[in-house]
Amino acid sequence: MFWQNLHEIDQHITLFINSLHCGFTDPIMLFFSQVRIWFPMYAIIAGIMFWRLGWKKAIPVVLSCVLCVVICDQTANFFKEWVARLRPCQDQEMIGMGLYMLETGGGLYGFFSGHASNAFGFAVCSSMGLRNDNRQKYRGYSAWIFFWASMVSISRIFVGKHYFGDVITGIIAGTIAGLFCGWLARFVIRRFIKRA
């Protein structure tokens, strides 16, 4: 009963957010939802890390970001198969209730959002990593990367691929993974590199 009520609330929140689409938002949400733009962005950020941190600090920071993305991605894949909750775009009830779909295809299951998890994990981990440069705070970077992660996450509801609950759970999982991997990079730098 509890889970059914929670699912119904999630359906209504998802449909409300999804209904906010218009001709202006559609291409924006499709842009943020596309994974192929992530890799050039990751490469540019890695280059900035090597430039600002130096190679000794940048290596553990970049590796921690890679580890974070792998953890987020594989954890999301595991939960999707384990929980086996249909994506809204695969759920005939949601389609019948008026779900607007900008994307089709993909896997059957959507709990939890790998996009949201990866985006927030990378945002947290990379922001923590850049703080190993004691000369600068990188507040502008943090504001930008969290805006990007938020747009990626909300876009998954707009395109019809995830429920609101899928996205929130992905954000929480990604944040936890990002904090762990960011802490791990900081530990390696303080324990091994600063003493070298």
Which tokens is 95 given?
């389609």
Assign 92 to helix, strand or coil. Answer: helix
Cβ atoms of 95 and 161 closer than 8 Å: no
What is the reported pTM?
A: 0.93
Q: What is the pLDDT of residue 104?
A: 76
Nearest to 156 by CA among 34, 7, 37: 34
pLDDT at 196 over 60: no
pLDDT tens-digit series, residues 127-184: 999 999 878 888 999 999 999 999 999 999 999 999 999 999 999 999 999 999 999 9
Phi/psi of residue 109, nearest 5 degrees: -105, 150
pLDDT at 117 over 90: yes
Q: What is the pLDDT of residue 101?
A: 94
The residue with tokens 């198969």 is 81
Cβ atoms of 15 and 98 closer than 8 Å: yes
Q: What is the DSSP secondary-structure string of 40-82? A: HHHHHHHHHHHHHH-HHHHHHHHHHHHHHHHHHHHHHHHHHHH
Alpha-carbon gap, residue 58 to 61, rounded angstroms: 5
